[in-house]
Amino acid sequence: MGKIIAVANQKGGVGKTTTSVNLACGLARYGRKVLLMDIDPQFNATTGIGHMIDGNSISMYEVLVGDATLESVIVKNLRNGVDLAPSSIDVAAADLILLEQKNENQNVLKNELKKVKDNYDFIIIDCPPSLGLINRNGLTAADTVLVPIQAEHYAMHGVAQLLRTIKKVKETLNPHLTIEGVLVTMFDSRTRLAHDVLAEVMATFKNKVYSAVIPRNIKISESSIEGKSIFEHDPTGDGARKYDEFVREVLKENGY
């Protein structure tokens, strides 16, 4: 039965999508079968792993509003060992439709994921940078939440609200939800600020912080633009090495 990890931070630009893509591809490199699910209307995880969508494509929008099954939208083996449930700009409209559905709107993803969960070792959900009903669907369906935090100004801004949302979901919709871990991204070891942020994150989250710290790295940015994981784009570089350390930590924490 697959472990469902929601990658979430309401603050944009923290490396959330890059982490989702590289975690999915990194886990597959170690022989795990992975589903990457993109529920962000910006669909950056979809393009970031090399899948292009057009006007005829169905996506997680149809799943969220009940017009398609999750199984029907999955793109199989887009990368070796990685399937993709793609997003599209239409997903932005799903929040309004979910709002109209009231009581049923919290469990759409959870119910659909039950049907495919046994096909995967890990399911990685790239959540939108917001705290709306789509995000809440992701948290309701997930076993754990992975929080990327960038080592820059206002890094902790919004994290308290995300933690309150996680607490609310745990109390009302998903009592087993826990924090998988906290990943520090965009770390520039040359600056005092980055070290101060890392210290603050470690003081706040303690043993939930991964030892691997993802550097600020142009190759990581390039890989997203090219629709590749960092392991494909720059396999011997510092970014790939650090993401590999992170992936191995996730595997170890999950008994692999």
Q: In CATH, what number is assigned to the domain containing residue 119?
A: 3.40.50.300
Q: What is the mean pLDDT of the chain?
A: 92
Report pLDDT for 84: 98
User: What's the average model confidence in pLDDT over 150-165?
Assistant: 84
Residue 105 pLDDT level (bands cut at 50, 70, 90): low
Residue 101 has pLDDT above 80, yes or no: no
User: What's the average model confidence in pLDDT over 192-199?
Assistant: 93
H-helix or E-strand containing 181? strand 178-185
Residue 133 pLDDT level (bands cut at 50, 70, 90): confident
C-beta neighbour count of 205 within 10 angstroms:
18
Residue 5 pLDDT level (bands cut at 50, 70, 90): very high
Q: Are 180 and 145 in contact (CB under 8 A)?
A: yes
- For residues 235 and 52, give the distance between their C-alpha atoms in angstroms, rounded to a whole number: 23
Reported in sequence order, the residue ranges of 40-152 that DSSP labels E, i.e. its strands, are 75-79, 82-85, 122-126, 144-150
C-beta neighbour count of 102 within 10 angstroms:
8
The radius of gyration computed from the CA coordinates of the chain, to the nearest angstrom, equals 17
Total structural domains in the chain? 1
Report pLDDT for 104: 61
Q: Are 196 and 44 in contact (CB under 8 A)?
A: no
Q: Which residues pair with 152 in a beta bridge?
A: none
User: What's the average model confidence in pLDDT over 232-248?
Assistant: 97
User: What's the average model confidence in pLDDT over 132-144?
Assistant: 92
Q: Residues of the chain with pLDDT > 70: what percent?
A: 98
User: What's the average model confidence in pLDDT over 216-225?
Assistant: 93
The residue to which tokens 């929008």 are assigned: 61
Tokens found for residue 142: 């997930």
Q: What is the dihedral of CA 5, 230, 86, 9, to 10 degrees?
A: 50
Phi (first) and psi of residue 145, to 5 degrees:
-120, 130
Report pLDDT for 155: 81
Residue 180 has pLDDT above 70, yes or no: yes
Residue 90 has pLDDT above 80, yes or no: yes
Residue 177 pLDDT level (bands cut at 50, 70, 90): very high
Residue 130 has pLDDT above 90, yes or no: no
pTM: 0.96
Q: Are 33 and 121 in contact (CB under 8 A)?
A: yes
Report pLDDT for 97: 83
User: What's the average model confidence in pLDDT over 182-199?
Assistant: 94
Residue 224 has pLDDT above 80, yes or no: yes
Q: Sheet with 178-185: list strands edge to edge.
A: 75-79, 82-85, 34-38, 122-126, 3-7, 144-150, 178-185
Residue 66 has pLDDT above 80, yes or no: yes
Residue 1 has pLDDT above 80, yes or no: no
- For residues 88 and 62, give the distance between their C-alpha atoms in angstroms, rounded to a whole number: 10
User: Which residue range forms the structural domain that includes residue 70?
Assistant: 3-253
- For residues 136 and 116, give the distance between their C-alpha atoms in angstroms, rounded to a whole number: 20
